[in-house]
Structure 1
């Protein structure tokens, strides 16, 4: 009887802890919304408009090219399923550089951790991407320039992997940016330089060897293959290796957790 009572108490404590952390994440997301977008003009709508405007600009540049390569993919939907998700990857990683410094005062509260701060930002970027994809897909469909994702569950799976990968990388960058400002400055150009090899503007099926083999080592190319399979029901990729991507995500998460744990000891709140 005593063991059953103890197990119940431990379960109740675990549930209470998860509920508390969920409230913390919600509060951090609302704080980030107010900090980044404020309440003036369109306010929180910028969460969707910011990536949408960037994607529309890139789509306009490629408007005259017609269907992508020879796959018959509408250029609008191709750009939405590529550049919009790359914006997610870039934003989560780039914004992590100054995350600790910008939220240093919040760390006075023991209930708020560096992990919570970075996770709330990653979740906000994920929500921004989902809203932007829906808005842009409907807009493209109105002008016969694209259409809504045809296999949304596959796209969500690709989005989940992209957020997980970006979040793991953001923890490492946040920790080492706290030790050296050079790391933060190098992150921004590295993100732009990674664009050609990220898979955002290429398809593994049409890539000739040995370039396909070289690019396949970069894990985001696999994620974009899942996203493209979700966007286009006629596209089936022979180059998706989920266990390879998950291994990358687990490794980055492990290194990231150790990194933010170590750097937390060195942060002076006074």
Structure 2
């Protein structure tokens, strides 16, 4: 029990440190975590509103893109933040009391709190701008479940990447190249249900497409999300967490020594 209390205290201290130092080199500091997604949704809304008459769901372009971008953000921001956990806290690992796992856990909780607040803020601003009663129609259990699954998938991928990045700089570059277009093929800008065969089936191999469909089904009561397979998403997430934990644990001593 004393061991657990020690790690909880270390994790809380690391969380406070992460929140105070994150985005420290950028104007606005930590506010950039909120400015970036709001600006992103606003920019996408402006562009697509100019080239299309109506969004694929509902009547609000802003809500449609927010419902696609936010669940993707829950995954991508988590995976990216976890990826750099050890590099950013290398000096702290020289203290025996700080374990590599403490650094990862603290970053997970900081990011999930940040993403949750960002998600609420974006939806609130979209609803206010378009005079929508979004929060009255939301099926909260679906939105929360999809968001949580996205963060866990990001945690698993991020933990695996910590170990793999440390072993191969080439892998780090290849991973960045492969995942960069992921936002384009995950259903952020479209609905996978509307794609013709075989493109629909190909897109549905991507677990992030299921995260976004699940999230959107909680925003739009009329959206049936044909093709959504929650079991497939859970299997992917469990596999990512297992592989991530295994690789991270095997590399823990190496990571501490740098």
Q: Structure 2 length normalisation: TM-score? A: 0.87
**CA separation in 1, counterparts of 2:98 and 2:133?**
41
Q: Which residues in structure 2 correspond to 1:42-121 (within 5 Å)? A: 42-64=28-50, 65-69=52-56, 71-121=57-107
- Which has the bigger relative contact order, CA under 8 A and spacing at least 6? 2
Residue aligning to 1:236: 224
C-alpha spacing 1:236/1:42, structure 2 compared with 1 (3 Å)? same
Unaligned 5+ residue runs, structure 1? 1-12
Q: Structure 1 length normalisation: TM-score? A: 0.83
- Whether 1:137 and 2:107 are equivalent positions in the alignment is no
Unaligned 5+ residue runs, structure 2? none
C-alpha spacing 1:21/1:202, structure 2 compared with 1 (3 Å)? farther
Following superposition, which runs of at least 4 residues in structure 1 exceed 6 angstroms of deviation? none
C-alpha spacing 1:78/1:173, structure 2 compared with 1 (3 Å)? same
- Whether 1:257 and 2:230 are equivalent positions in the alignment is no
Q: 1:217 aligns with which of 182, 205, 210?
A: 205
Q: Which residues in structure 2 correspond to 1:170-189 (within 5 Å)? A: 170-189=158-177
Deviation at 1:17, TM superposition (A): 4.7
Deviation at 1:119, TM superposition (A): 3.0
> Secondary structure at the residue paired with 1:238?
coil
**CA separation in 1, counterparts of 2:221 and 2:256?**
52
Deviation at 1:49, TM superposition (A): 2.0
**CA separation in 2, counterparts of 1:72 and 1:179?**
47
C-alpha spacing 1:268/1:226, structure 2 compared with 1 (3 Å)? closer
Between the two proteins, the alignment pairs up a number of residues equal to 255
Residue aligning to 2:8: 22
- Please tell me the root mean square deviation across aligned C-alpha atoms, in Å: 2.5
TM-superposition CA deviations, 1:157-211 (whole Å, max 9, x none): 1001100111100011111111122222333333322122222222233222221
C-alpha spacing 1:97/1:186, structure 2 compared with 1 (3 Å)? farther
TM-superposition CA deviations, 1:70-97 (whole Å, max 9, x none): x335211111111233233222223344
**CA separation in 1, counterparts of 2:219 and 2:102?**
31
- Retained in 2: the 8 A contact 1:225–1:240? yes
